[in-house]
Amino acid sequence: LLTGEKKYANKAIASTYKLTESEMLLQKALKKLLDDPTANVTEFGEKLVQLNPKVYAAYQWLISYQQFAKDYEGLDKTFQSQLKLTEFPGPIYNGMGYNYMTLNKMGKAKEAFENYIKAEPNNPNCYDSMGDYFAKAEDFKNAYSNFMKAYEMDSIRFKISHDKAMKIKPKLNK
């Protein structure tokens, strides 16, 4: 945690407000992370989900903790559960795609990013993410076109997509 974040984390831990069981779990996880930033706090996220099985945010906490712990197989299960709770699956598909790329499950990664595009076709981030997929798959033509599509949709927030496209452009003719 950064210095400013530690200040707020310590305040949260020292809180004397009456906390719910879920809030106490978050507080315990925070304390453990303050004591050891490399600590695995996934158990707190799992308990949070058990207490709140229909609450989207509980899964978000578990996902964060699983990412800290590099529990990519666990992440897959959590994403699958979280998909059942939302009408807006785009961000979940995005997370799934990157998680599958980390696991080198490229077919599943592509499918997740395709689902992201279906869910949010007007979101330039979908195409930037698909570009990342194609870049990792060394399909530079498709990576380039997806990065450029993201950039063309939003040239201010997705300048990074343009930068990625320019970086792989020399590989297009190889």
Q: Is the pLDDT of residue 2 over 60?
A: no
- Picking from 124, 77, 132, 122, the residue whose alpha carbon sits closest to that of residue 101 is 132
Confidence label for 11 from pLDDT (cuts 50, 70 and 90): confident
Global confidence as pTM:
0.89
119: Cα separation from own chain's centroid: 16
133: Cα separation from own chain's centroid: 15
**Confidence (pLDDT) at 1:** 56
Rg (CA), the chain: 19
Task: Supply 115's token pair.
Answer: 């689902």
Task: Supply 22's token pair.
Answer: 């879920």
**CA end-to-end span of the chain:** 43
On the 0-12 / 13-18 / 19+ scale of CB atoms within 10 A, 35 is exposed
Q: Is the pLDDT of residue 4 over 80?
A: no
- Picking from 1, 29, 25, 31, the residue whose alpha carbon sits closest to that of residue 13 is 31
**What is the Cβ-side half-sphere exposure of residue 36, based on CA atoms within 13 angstroms?**
6
Confidence label for 13 from pLDDT (cuts 50, 70 and 90): confident
**Confidence (pLDDT) at 141:** 97
Q: Within the chain, how many helices (H) and strands (E) appear?
A: 10, 0
**Confidence (pLDDT) at 8:** 82
